[in-house]
Structure 1
């Protein structure tokens, strides 16, 4: 009876050990990533049908997670690049608007310069015509009229007249007025 008792104890011990092994395997199966096992242990587990499927599914899950991380990183990189592209696009639009504004300003200034140029050309033409009129007058009469005009106007007028006529008109002007005009014409 002792032999039977001993045999029962041995069988119970073996069953307990098998239960512990199965519990350990279930623990590994349930909670542990079998892909992290040592390659030799992993190879041994691949011979067990239900563990083979578990290892394969964990490998697939691991690859999917890795691919998901790569995808998310690539998505973030692309989003960042799009943000940079949009930023550069806005900068270009701003620069383009500034350039358009500057171009408009330049065109306006150019028109103003053309108007001023035309105005100056007209004034110069008028001064030349006046100079011709005064050249045709008697110098004493021209001097009497020019006596009351501003020095700057007289200088412009004299510069468009013949030197002989200017010298005769200056000689008929008041001496102080003639001296003032002569000094201004010399640039002193």
Structure 2
């Protein structure tokens, strides 16, 4: 009887181990399906859905066509690269335009500086000439200045003189020339701010 009892005691132990192993296997298989490890659920569900009894219970997710998706993403990437290249080309063109404008601006600035130097030299020359004529007898200075046909030169010389000396020379100039110079001086004075 003792042997029968030990045999009976071993049966529930064996049965418990078998149940434990079965639960473990079901658990592992369930986890494999749940987490789709190795793509097992998508492959297995495809075959299980063909069984008439399980067809309504199992929903097979449509498989993603990775090749089409890759083509689409590649196309989008190529489009973005072309847009980037166009933007870079446009930026390069704009930079060239900016460089050309900077160069043009520098040339104009150099021209302005050159004109300023020339203008300053002319002003210095006019002041020197005015000093010469101021030191002359007003009648002799007027005789020489009457020979100058460009009234702007006369105005430049007289404008750089002392007012008293300029008026003495202007008094000795030809009356028509003095009148023309007066008109020009009046016009210049009325247009100045």
Q: Normalising by the residue count of structure 1, what TM-score does the alignment of the two structures yield?
A: 0.67
Summarize the alignment of residues 49-128 of structure 1 with structure 2, pairs less than 5 Å apart: 63=63, 66-128=65-127
Considering only aligned residues, what root-mean-square deviation do their CA atoms show, in Å?
A: 2.5
Residue 109 of structure 1 and its aligned partner are, at CA, apart by 0.7
The structure 1 segments of at least 4 consecutive aligned residues displaced by more than 3 Å after TM superposition are: none
User: Structure 1 residue 68: deviation in Å?
Assistant: 1.2
1:45 Cα deviation from its structure 2 partner: 6.2
46 and 146 in structure 1: CA distance in 2 versus 1, 3 angstrom threshold: farther
Pair 1:46–1:153, CA change in 2 (3 A): farther
- What is residue 51 of structure 2 aligned with on the other side? 44
User: How far did 1:46 drift?
Assistant: 9.8
Q: What is the aligned partner in structure 2 of residue 181 from structure 1?
A: 181
**Equivalent-residue separation in structure 2 for 1:143 and 1:115 (angstroms):** 34
5+ unaligned residues in a row in structure 2: which ranges? 1-41, 55-60, 189-193
Give 1:137-176 correspondences, 5 Å limit: 137-149=136-148, 150-176=150-176
1:70, CA displacement in angstroms? 1.2
Q: Give distance in 2, aligned partners of 1:141 and 1:45.
A: 133
Q: Which residue of 2 aligns with 1:133?
A: 132
User: For residues 77 and 69 of structure 1, what CA distance do their matches in structure 2 show?
Assistant: 12
Q: Where does the alignment leave 5 or more consecutive residues of structure 1 unmatched?
A: 1-34, 48-58
Distance 1:159 1:98 in 2: 46
Name the SS of the counterpart of 1:44 in structure 2.
coil
TM-score by length of 2: 0.65
